[in-house]
Amino acid sequence: MNFDLDQDQLDAAAGARRFFTDQASPAAARAALEEGPVQPGRQALADIGFLGITVAESTGGGGGALLDLAVVAEQAGAVLAGPSLVTAARAAVLLAEEPELAAALADGSRAFCVVDGSSPALDAVGADTFLALVDGDLVVGGGTVVTGQPMDATRGLGVVTLTDPRVLVPDAAALWARARDVALVVLAAEDLGTAGRAVEVGVAYAKERHAFGRAIGSYQAVKHSLVDAWVGVEQLRSLVWWSAWAADRAPDELPLAAAAAKAFAAETLERAAETCIQVHGGTGFTWEHDAHLYWRRAKVDRLLLGDAAEHHDVVAGLVLAGALS
Protein backbone atom coordinates (compact mmCIF):
# COMPACT_ATOMS: atom_id res chain seq x y z
CA MET A 1 0.00 0.00 0.00
CA ASN A 2 1.39 3.42 -0.98
CA PHE A 3 0.55 6.30 1.34
CA ASP A 4 2.48 8.93 -0.63
CA LEU A 5 1.40 11.13 -3.53
CA ASP A 6 1.81 9.64 -6.99
CA GLN A 7 4.11 11.14 -9.64
CA ASP A 8 1.30 13.12 -11.31
CA GLN A 9 0.42 14.74 -8.01
CA LEU A 10 4.06 15.49 -7.24
CA ASP A 11 4.38 17.10 -10.67
CA ALA A 12 1.20 19.12 -10.04
CA ALA A 13 2.63 20.32 -6.72
CA ALA A 14 5.84 21.41 -8.43
CA GLY A 15 3.91 23.29 -11.11
CA ALA A 16 1.67 24.96 -8.55
CA ARG A 17 4.72 25.97 -6.50
CA ARG A 18 6.21 27.71 -9.54
CA PHE A 19 2.92 29.48 -10.34
CA PHE A 20 2.26 30.73 -6.82
CA THR A 21 5.88 31.75 -6.25
CA ASP A 22 5.68 33.89 -9.40
CA GLN A 23 2.19 35.28 -8.73
CA ALA A 24 1.97 35.78 -4.96
CA SER A 25 4.24 36.41 -2.00
CA PRO A 26 4.30 37.66 1.59
CA ALA A 27 5.04 41.09 0.11
CA ALA A 28 1.75 40.93 -1.81
CA ALA A 29 -0.04 39.84 1.38
CA ARG A 30 1.47 42.85 3.15
CA ALA A 31 0.23 45.13 0.36
CA ALA A 32 -3.27 43.66 0.74
CA LEU A 33 -3.26 44.79 4.37
CA GLU A 34 -2.97 48.31 3.03
CA GLU A 35 -5.91 47.87 0.63
CA GLY A 36 -3.89 46.44 -2.21
CA PRO A 37 -5.33 43.61 -4.35
CA VAL A 38 -4.94 40.01 -3.22
CA GLN A 39 -2.58 37.99 -5.38
CA PRO A 40 -2.79 36.13 -7.69
CA GLY A 41 -6.53 37.03 -7.80
CA ARG A 42 -9.58 35.12 -9.02
CA GLN A 43 -9.06 35.43 -12.76
CA ALA A 44 -5.47 34.23 -12.64
CA LEU A 45 -6.57 31.21 -10.61
CA ALA A 46 -9.33 30.53 -13.13
CA ASP A 47 -7.05 30.96 -16.14
CA ILE A 48 -4.60 28.36 -14.91
CA GLY A 49 -7.46 26.00 -14.08
CA PHE A 50 -7.16 25.91 -10.30
CA LEU A 51 -10.73 27.13 -9.61
CA GLY A 52 -12.11 24.29 -11.73
CA ILE A 53 -9.92 21.38 -10.61
CA THR A 54 -12.87 19.53 -9.04
CA VAL A 55 -15.52 20.86 -11.46
CA ALA A 56 -16.73 18.24 -13.96
CA GLU A 57 -15.00 18.19 -17.35
CA SER A 58 -18.42 18.42 -19.06
CA THR A 59 -18.81 21.93 -17.61
CA GLY A 60 -15.32 23.19 -18.34
CA GLY A 61 -13.52 21.96 -15.24
CA GLY A 62 -10.66 19.57 -14.77
CA GLY A 63 -12.71 16.69 -13.38
CA GLY A 64 -9.99 16.07 -10.81
CA ALA A 65 -10.05 14.63 -7.33
CA LEU A 66 -10.06 16.62 -4.12
CA LEU A 67 -6.57 15.28 -3.41
CA ASP A 68 -5.42 17.01 -6.61
CA LEU A 69 -6.85 20.29 -5.32
CA ALA A 70 -5.36 19.79 -1.85
CA VAL A 71 -1.90 19.39 -3.38
CA VAL A 72 -2.31 22.77 -5.10
CA ALA A 73 -3.84 24.39 -2.01
CA GLU A 74 -0.75 23.56 0.05
CA GLN A 75 1.35 25.61 -2.37
CA ALA A 76 -1.14 28.49 -2.25
CA GLY A 77 -0.92 28.56 1.54
CA ALA A 78 2.86 28.69 1.48
CA VAL A 79 2.81 32.15 -0.15
CA LEU A 80 -0.38 33.44 1.54
CA ALA A 81 -2.19 33.53 -1.81
CA GLY A 82 -5.75 34.74 -2.30
CA PRO A 83 -8.61 34.22 -2.94
CA SER A 84 -8.81 30.92 -1.13
CA LEU A 85 -9.23 27.64 -2.98
CA VAL A 86 -11.54 26.66 -0.11
CA THR A 87 -14.32 28.66 -1.75
CA ALA A 88 -13.78 27.02 -5.14
CA ALA A 89 -13.82 23.52 -3.63
CA ARG A 90 -16.96 24.17 -1.62
CA ALA A 91 -18.83 25.85 -4.48
CA ALA A 92 -17.90 23.00 -6.85
CA VAL A 93 -19.72 20.54 -4.58
CA LEU A 94 -22.77 22.79 -4.20
CA LEU A 95 -23.00 23.44 -7.96
CA ALA A 96 -22.39 19.88 -9.15
CA GLU A 97 -25.90 19.68 -10.65
CA GLU A 98 -25.90 23.27 -11.96
CA PRO A 99 -23.80 23.18 -15.15
CA GLU A 100 -24.06 26.87 -16.07
CA LEU A 101 -23.02 28.07 -12.63
CA ALA A 102 -20.33 25.40 -12.35
CA ALA A 103 -18.90 26.55 -15.69
CA ALA A 104 -18.93 30.16 -14.45
CA LEU A 105 -17.01 29.05 -11.35
CA ALA A 106 -14.39 27.25 -13.42
CA ASP A 107 -13.79 30.06 -15.94
CA GLY A 108 -13.96 32.85 -13.36
CA SER A 109 -16.81 34.71 -15.04
CA ARG A 110 -18.61 34.71 -11.68
CA ALA A 111 -16.99 35.33 -8.31
CA PHE A 112 -18.58 33.02 -5.75
CA CYS A 113 -18.77 33.26 -1.99
CA VAL A 114 -20.32 30.68 0.36
CA VAL A 115 -22.09 32.23 3.36
CA ASP A 116 -22.53 30.60 6.77
CA GLY A 117 -25.32 32.53 8.45
CA SER A 118 -24.18 35.79 10.01
CA SER A 119 -20.52 34.76 10.36
CA PRO A 120 -17.95 36.64 8.27
CA ALA A 121 -17.73 34.83 4.94
CA LEU A 122 -14.47 33.81 3.26
CA ASP A 123 -13.77 35.60 -0.07
CA ALA A 124 -16.80 37.85 0.31
CA VAL A 125 -14.82 40.89 -0.87
CA GLY A 126 -15.20 41.15 -4.65
CA ALA A 127 -17.77 38.35 -4.87
CA ASP A 128 -20.87 38.79 -7.03
CA THR A 129 -22.70 35.49 -6.49
CA PHE A 130 -23.49 34.14 -3.03
CA LEU A 131 -24.51 30.65 -1.94
CA ALA A 132 -26.16 29.97 1.42
CA LEU A 133 -28.31 27.47 3.28
CA VAL A 134 -31.64 29.07 4.21
CA ASP A 135 -34.35 27.03 5.94
CA GLY A 136 -32.70 23.84 4.71
CA ASP A 137 -32.60 24.93 1.06
CA LEU A 138 -29.53 25.92 -0.95
CA VAL A 139 -30.08 29.42 -2.30
CA VAL A 140 -28.12 31.60 -4.71
CA GLY A 141 -28.30 35.33 -5.24
CA GLY A 142 -26.60 38.66 -4.96
CA GLY A 143 -25.55 40.30 -1.75
CA THR A 144 -24.10 43.29 0.02
CA VAL A 145 -20.84 42.93 1.90
CA VAL A 146 -19.71 44.83 4.99
CA THR A 147 -16.04 44.59 5.91
CA GLY A 148 -14.19 45.82 8.96
CA GLN A 149 -10.46 46.07 9.52
CA PRO A 150 -9.33 42.55 8.67
CA MET A 151 -6.43 40.92 10.49
CA ASP A 152 -5.63 39.01 7.28
CA ALA A 153 -6.90 40.88 4.23
CA THR A 154 -6.00 38.01 1.90
CA ARG A 155 -8.98 36.11 3.30
CA GLY A 156 -11.48 38.67 1.93
CA LEU A 157 -13.75 38.38 4.96
CA GLY A 158 -17.07 40.19 5.07
CA VAL A 159 -20.53 39.95 6.59
CA VAL A 160 -23.00 39.27 3.79
CA THR A 161 -26.66 40.25 3.47
CA LEU A 162 -28.30 38.28 0.68
CA THR A 163 -30.35 40.08 -1.95
CA ASP A 164 -32.92 38.38 -4.20
CA PRO A 165 -32.01 34.81 -3.24
CA ARG A 166 -33.66 31.99 -5.14
CA VAL A 167 -33.82 28.34 -4.23
CA LEU A 168 -31.26 26.32 -6.15
CA VAL A 169 -31.59 22.95 -4.38
CA PRO A 170 -34.43 22.24 -1.94
CA ASP A 171 -33.78 20.14 1.16
CA ALA A 172 -30.02 20.50 0.72
CA ALA A 173 -28.73 19.86 4.27
CA ALA A 174 -26.78 16.73 3.29
CA LEU A 175 -25.24 18.46 0.24
CA TRP A 176 -24.32 21.45 2.39
CA ALA A 177 -22.68 19.21 5.01
CA ARG A 178 -20.52 17.44 2.42
CA ALA A 179 -19.49 20.76 0.88
CA ARG A 180 -18.48 22.06 4.32
CA ASP A 181 -16.41 18.94 5.00
CA VAL A 182 -14.65 19.38 1.66
CA ALA A 183 -13.97 23.00 2.61
CA LEU A 184 -12.39 21.87 5.89
CA VAL A 185 -10.01 19.60 3.99
CA VAL A 186 -8.84 22.34 1.62
CA LEU A 187 -8.50 24.85 4.46
CA ALA A 188 -6.30 22.36 6.31
CA ALA A 189 -4.24 21.93 3.12
CA GLU A 190 -3.68 25.68 2.83
CA ASP A 191 -2.72 25.82 6.50
CA LEU A 192 -0.28 22.97 5.90
CA GLY A 193 1.53 25.11 3.34
CA THR A 194 1.54 28.20 5.55
CA ALA A 195 2.78 26.28 8.61
CA GLY A 196 5.52 24.58 6.62
CA ARG A 197 6.75 27.89 5.25
CA ALA A 198 6.71 29.54 8.71
CA VAL A 199 8.95 26.77 10.04
CA GLU A 200 11.29 27.07 7.02
CA VAL A 201 11.66 30.80 7.64
CA GLY A 202 12.44 30.12 11.29
CA VAL A 203 15.02 27.42 10.46
CA ALA A 204 16.76 29.67 7.92
CA TYR A 205 17.11 32.45 10.50
CA ALA A 206 18.31 30.01 13.18
CA LYS A 207 21.17 29.01 10.86
CA GLU A 208 22.02 32.60 9.94
CA ARG A 209 21.79 34.40 13.27
CA HIS A 210 24.74 33.94 15.65
CA ALA A 211 24.95 34.62 19.40
CA PHE A 212 28.04 34.09 21.57
CA GLY A 213 29.91 32.76 18.54
CA ARG A 214 27.37 30.08 17.58
CA ALA A 215 24.36 29.87 15.31
CA ILE A 216 21.27 30.20 17.52
CA GLY A 217 19.93 27.01 15.95
CA SER A 218 22.63 25.08 17.78
CA TYR A 219 21.07 25.96 21.13
CA GLN A 220 18.77 23.27 22.45
CA ALA A 221 15.80 25.50 23.24
CA VAL A 222 15.73 26.90 19.71
CA LYS A 223 16.27 23.63 17.86
CA HIS A 224 13.70 21.77 19.96
CA SER A 225 11.05 24.44 19.31
CA LEU A 226 11.63 24.24 15.58
CA VAL A 227 11.66 20.43 15.57
CA ASP A 228 8.40 20.30 17.52
CA ALA A 229 6.79 22.70 15.04
CA TRP A 230 8.08 20.68 12.08
CA VAL A 231 6.83 17.40 13.54
CA GLY A 232 3.41 19.03 13.77
CA VAL A 233 3.59 19.99 10.09
CA GLU A 234 4.39 16.43 9.03
CA GLN A 235 1.61 15.02 11.21
CA LEU A 236 -0.78 17.52 9.65
CA ARG A 237 0.35 16.42 6.19
CA SER A 238 -0.79 12.88 6.95
CA LEU A 239 -4.19 14.12 8.11
CA VAL A 240 -4.65 16.32 5.04
CA TRP A 241 -3.83 13.53 2.58
CA TRP A 242 -6.06 11.09 4.48
CA SER A 243 -9.03 13.47 4.57
CA ALA A 244 -8.65 14.36 0.88
CA TRP A 245 -8.42 10.66 0.01
CA ALA A 246 -11.55 10.02 2.09
CA ALA A 247 -13.46 12.70 0.19
CA ASP A 248 -12.65 10.93 -3.08
CA ARG A 249 -12.70 7.26 -2.11
CA ALA A 250 -14.35 6.75 1.30
CA PRO A 251 -17.09 9.33 1.85
CA ASP A 252 -18.25 7.67 5.06
CA GLU A 253 -14.87 8.54 6.61
CA LEU A 254 -14.94 12.16 5.41
CA PRO A 255 -16.72 13.80 8.39
CA LEU A 256 -14.25 12.29 10.86
CA ALA A 257 -11.17 12.90 8.70
CA ALA A 258 -12.15 16.47 7.80
CA ALA A 259 -12.84 17.45 11.42
CA ALA A 260 -9.55 15.90 12.57
CA ALA A 261 -7.59 17.72 9.86
CA LYS A 262 -9.20 21.10 10.60
CA ALA A 263 -8.72 20.83 14.36
CA PHE A 264 -5.07 19.83 14.03
CA ALA A 265 -4.41 22.43 11.31
CA ALA A 266 -5.60 25.25 13.55
CA GLU A 267 -3.22 24.26 16.34
CA THR A 268 -0.30 23.37 14.06
CA LEU A 269 -0.32 26.62 12.12
CA GLU A 270 -0.59 28.70 15.27
CA ARG A 271 2.37 26.87 16.86
CA ALA A 272 4.46 27.20 13.69
CA ALA A 273 3.74 30.93 13.33
CA GLU A 274 4.47 31.66 16.99
CA THR A 275 7.68 29.60 16.86
CA CYS A 276 8.80 31.60 13.82
CA ILE A 277 8.25 34.85 15.72
CA GLN A 278 10.01 33.59 18.86
CA VAL A 279 13.07 32.35 16.94
CA HIS A 280 13.40 35.78 15.35
CA GLY A 281 13.39 37.43 18.78
CA GLY A 282 12.59 41.12 18.74
CA THR A 283 12.80 41.26 14.95
CA GLY A 284 9.87 38.87 14.69
CA PHE A 285 7.53 41.30 16.40
CA THR A 286 8.23 44.19 14.06
CA TRP A 287 6.03 45.31 11.20
CA GLU A 288 9.01 45.20 8.84
CA HIS A 289 9.46 41.42 9.13
CA ASP A 290 7.12 38.95 7.40
CA ALA A 291 6.66 36.73 10.47
CA HIS A 292 3.50 38.54 11.55
CA LEU A 293 1.86 37.70 8.20
CA TYR A 294 1.94 33.98 9.03
CA TRP A 295 0.68 34.75 12.55
CA ARG A 296 -2.23 36.78 11.13
CA ARG A 297 -3.19 33.90 8.85
CA ALA A 298 -3.01 31.49 11.81
CA LYS A 299 -5.28 33.62 13.99
CA VAL A 300 -7.92 34.02 11.27
CA ASP A 301 -7.86 30.44 10.00
CA ARG A 302 -8.15 29.10 13.54
CA LEU A 303 -11.72 30.43 13.65
CA LEU A 304 -12.81 29.90 10.04
CA LEU A 305 -15.43 27.15 9.63
CA GLY A 306 -15.36 26.40 13.35
CA ASP A 307 -12.50 26.43 15.85
CA ALA A 308 -10.39 23.51 17.06
CA ALA A 309 -12.64 22.83 20.07
CA GLU A 310 -15.71 22.45 17.84
CA HIS A 311 -13.97 19.95 15.60
CA HIS A 312 -12.40 18.03 18.47
CA ASP A 313 -15.98 17.57 19.73
CA VAL A 314 -17.00 16.25 16.31
CA VAL A 315 -14.11 13.77 16.30
CA ALA A 316 -14.91 12.59 19.80
CA GLY A 317 -18.60 12.20 18.99
CA LEU A 318 -17.97 10.23 15.81
CA VAL A 319 -15.43 7.94 17.44
CA LEU A 320 -17.72 7.27 20.39
CA ALA A 321 -20.55 6.54 17.97
CA GLY A 322 -18.39 3.86 16.38
CA ALA A 323 -17.47 5.68 13.20
CA LEU A 324 -14.40 3.47 12.80
CA SER A 325 -16.07 0.16 13.63
pLDDT of residue 145: 96
pLDDT of residue 33: 87
The CA distance from 214 to 322, in Å, is 53
pLDDT of residue 171: 97
pTM of the model: 0.96
Convert the pLDDT of each residue in 98-154 to its tens digit: 999 999 999 999 999 999 999 999 999 999 999 999 999 999 999 999 998 889 999
- Provide φ and ψ at 18, rounded to 5°: -65, -45
The CA distance from 117 to 174, in Å, is 17
pLDDT of residue 1: 52
pLDDT of residue 201: 97
pLDDT of residue 323: 57
Convert the pLDDT of each residue in 71-96 to its tens digit: 999 999 999 999 999 999 999 999 99
pLDDT of residue 288: 84
Write out residues in the chain with pLDDT < 50, as ranges.
none
Residue 115 in 3-state DSSP? strand
pLDDT of residue 282: 82
The CA distance from 112 to 51, in Å, is 11
DSSP character string of 211-269: ETTEEGGGSHHHHHHHHHHHHHHHHHHHHHHHHHHHHHH-GGGHHHHHHHHHHHHHHHH
pLDDT of residue 89: 98
pLDDT of residue 42: 96
Pairing of strands 214-215, 210-211: antiparallel
